[in-house]
Amino acid sequence: MQEKFYLTTAIDYVNGAPHIGHAYEKILSDVIIRHKRQLTDKAFMLTGTDEHGIKIQKTAASFGITPKELCDQNFNQFNSAWKELEISYDKIIRTTDEQHKKTVKQIFKKLLENGDIYKHKYTGLYCSGCESFLNPKDLTPDGLCPNHLKKPEEITEENYFFRLSKYKDKLAQYIKSHPDFIIPSFRVNEILNQLENIEDISVSRTKASVRWAIEVPEDEEQSIYVWIDALSNYITAIGYDIENPSEQFKELWPANVHVIGKDIIKFHSIYWTAILMSLGLPLPEHIFAHGWITIDQSKMSKSLGNVIAPHDVLQGFNLEHPDAFRYYMASAALIGRDGNYSDEDFKEKVNADLANNIGNLLNRTLNMLVKYFNGEIKPESITSKDCKIAIMAENTKQQIIEAFNKYEIAEAANLIVSFSDSVNKYVTENAPWTLAKEGKMHECAQVLYNILEAMRHIAIMLSPYCPNIAADILVQLNEKQDFSYSNLYWGGIKSGQITQKDKIKPVFLRLDSEFATGKKKG
The footprint of ligand MSP (CB under 6 A) covers 10-13, 21-22, 24-25, 50, 230-231, 260-261, 263-264, 292-293, 300
Residue 26 or residue 163: which is nearer to ligand MSP going by CB?
A: 26
Residue 104 or residue 300: which is nearer to ligand MSP going by CB?
A: 300
Closest CA to 91 of 46, 152, 143, 26: 46
The nearest distance, CB 17 to ligand MSP, in angstroms, is 11
Residue 325 or residue 515: which is nearer to ligand MSP going by CB?
A: 325
Closest CA to 214 of 98, 61, 89: 98
The nearest distance, CB 471 to ligand MSP, in angstroms, is 28
Orientation angle between helical segments 343-350 and 323-330, nearest 10 degrees: 100
Closest CA to 21 of 241, 301, 240: 301
The nearest distance, CB 469 to ligand MSP, in angstroms, is 24
CA distances from 359 to 345, 365, 412 (A): 19, 10, 19
- The catalytic residues are 19, 22, 127, 130, 145, 148, 299, 302
Residue 12 or residue 323: which is nearer to ligand MSP going by CB?
A: 12
The nearest distance, CB 265 to ligand MSP, in angstroms, is 9
Q: Kind of pairing, strands 376-377 and 496-497?
A: antiparallel
Instruction: Please report, to the nearest 10 degrees, the dihedral formed by the alpha carbons of residues 235, 241, 244, 250 taken in order.
Output: 10
Count the residues in the chain.
Answer: 522
The nearest distance, CB 360 to ligand MSP, in angstroms, is 32
Helix, strand, or coil here: 66?
coil
Measured from each CB, the residue nearest to ligand MSP is 261
Residue 89 or residue 426: which is nearer to ligand MSP going by CB?
A: 89
Closest CA to 65 of 100, 14, 126: 14
The nearest distance, CB 135 to ligand MSP, in angstroms, is 18
The nearest distance, CB 12 to ligand MSP, in angstroms, is 4
Q: Phi first, then psi: give them for residue 175, nearest 5 degrees.
A: -65, -40
- Per-residue burial over 455-494, b = 16 or more CB atoms within 10 Å of its CB, e = otherwise: bbbbbbbbbbbbbbbbbbbbbbbbbeeebebebbebebbe
Burial class of 438 by CB neighbour count within 10 A (0 to 12, 13 to 18, 19+)? exposed
Q: Kind of pairing, strands 515-516 and 519-520?
A: antiparallel
Other beta carbons less than 10 A from residue 284's beta carbon: 23
Residue 332 or residue 415: which is nearer to ligand MSP going by CB?
A: 332
Residue 238 or residue 390: which is nearer to ligand MSP going by CB?
A: 238
